[in-house]
A = this chain, B = another copy of it.
């Protein structure tokens, strides 16, 4: 993969800080054969790159692949989807008026169970990888199912398609249907170890795919299982992913199932249950965190656990409106998750858009906050930070992906918008600009805002992971 050294030329846009995008125009980024960024040069056209940068790198000019962003196009870091269920992909958009617990039983468990059929698993997993790549998702934290062979297949397909991923076999040994449940805590642990072993055989250096320990969520896991998974995380130093505080009925169920007398925790909060089981680590990805109490958020912050914010899902299945600003203010690292198929969209860009909109609903009084909390609003810059740098930190890849800096790996997308001519026609092919129309007088920040609010996979022209081209539009 990435057999040639590459020279990328044009405009590069990436996050400098939570509320700041940096625009590098007329710039050059050099990516070596391993997929690592080895030079970032501003005010550098192709000629200057050939004359000064490539020689400094010791690269033969003739052997360098040149990729140039056209006028109006820009390179942007690949998106990181910090929470999605690969196995639920065929159900996106199908949830009726359900909420979490009935949604699981009605729509979700039957579909997940059906993926023990390897033909269906190959179809679904191939599709979800291609689909998310086409939307610029260069890294995904996947839940698979309880089934080991098909979870292994998901790993293999990520590797063959070149998508960076964390792959988790789902652990669940209670409170789920007979037809879809681990036989025991021990069986769950053994199956988890088997899926981890498969990943380490397939990608020994975890250069692309990493295992992630995946207790589904507290209600579906016995205390012994959670404790064993906590011990496994300590033993292996692997990351953990699970759900927390998504829905009020779920929270009540957790209180009911895991009293302090059983867990040994100081209180009966959801976060304390995980903490008591050793599952609240600095490598833990907590999806949702909609209804955390102050004390829980403080505990999550103290443990340096991360949050995957899933606004599409939280709105769709009526879970609530997560207070992202409040989490950020507590020093908690946040990223975005499509949470398919609680979330209806495969797109992190749509998720970022909804993060902006849901933050406005928080201001408007959702979640019991007083209206007028203006600073809860997330800006264009902030939601795009969450989609890239924030996500990278959530999945433990900060400093490796999420931005364009020397030493980071080239996980990126080339974005193109539609340019409107004087006659009101879009220039170029019919779908050249997707649904984004640029009239020419817009500033760069306005163009990025237009992309956030109307962009789709048509705007993502090419996608690279670790320097390798993994998707391009025809």
Give the interface size class of chain A: 35 or more
Q: How many copies does the complex hold?
A: 2
CA distance A315 to B378 in the complex (A): 12
B424 touching A122, Cβ below 8 Å: yes
The residues in A between 92 and 140 inclusive whose CB is less than 8 angstroms from any CB of B are 92-97, 119, 122-127, 130-131
CB-defined contacts of A69 to chain B, threshold 8 Å = none
A97 touching B379, Cβ below 8 Å: yes
**Least Cβ–Cβ distance between A241 and chain B, in angstroms:** 24
Pick the residue among B345, B354, B422, B439 that contacts A90 (CB under 8 A). B439
**Least Cβ–Cβ distance between A62 and chain B, in angstroms:** 33
Stretch at the interface among A228-236, A387-395, A448-456: A448-456
Q: Which residue of B lies closest to A374 (CB)?
A: B97
CA distance A192 to B363 in the complex (A): 39
A178 on the B face (CB < 8 A): no
A361 on the B face (CB < 8 A): yes
Pick the residue among B95, B96, B424 that contacts A127 (CB under 8 A). B424
A424 touching B126, Cβ below 8 Å: yes
A368 on the B face (CB < 8 A): yes
1/0 contact string of A428-462 vs chain B (CB within 8 Å)? 00110001110101100010011111101110000
Stretch at the interface among A7-15, A196-204, A259-267, A316-324: A316-324
CA distance A442 to B474 in the complex (A): 29
A227 on the B face (CB < 8 A): no
CB-defined contacts of A169 to chain B, threshold 8 Å = none
Pick the residue among B90, B97, B315, B364 that contacts A437 (CB under 8 A). B90
A367 on the B face (CB < 8 A): yes
A406 on the B face (CB < 8 A): no
Pick the residue among B97, B357, B371, B454 that contacts A315 (CB under 8 A). B357
CB-defined contacts of A89 to chain B, threshold 8 Å = 437
A365 on the B face (CB < 8 A): yes
CB-defined contacts of A321 to chain B, threshold 8 Å = 361, 364, 366
**Least Cβ–Cβ distance between A415 and chain B, in angstroms:** 14
Which 3 interchain pairs have the tightest Cβ spacing? A126-B424, A93-B453, A344-B453
Given contacts A97-B377, A316-B453, 9 further A-B contacts (CB under 8 A): A90-B441, A96-B380, A97-B379, A123-B439, A316-B360, A344-B453, A361-B361, A368-B371, A456-B456
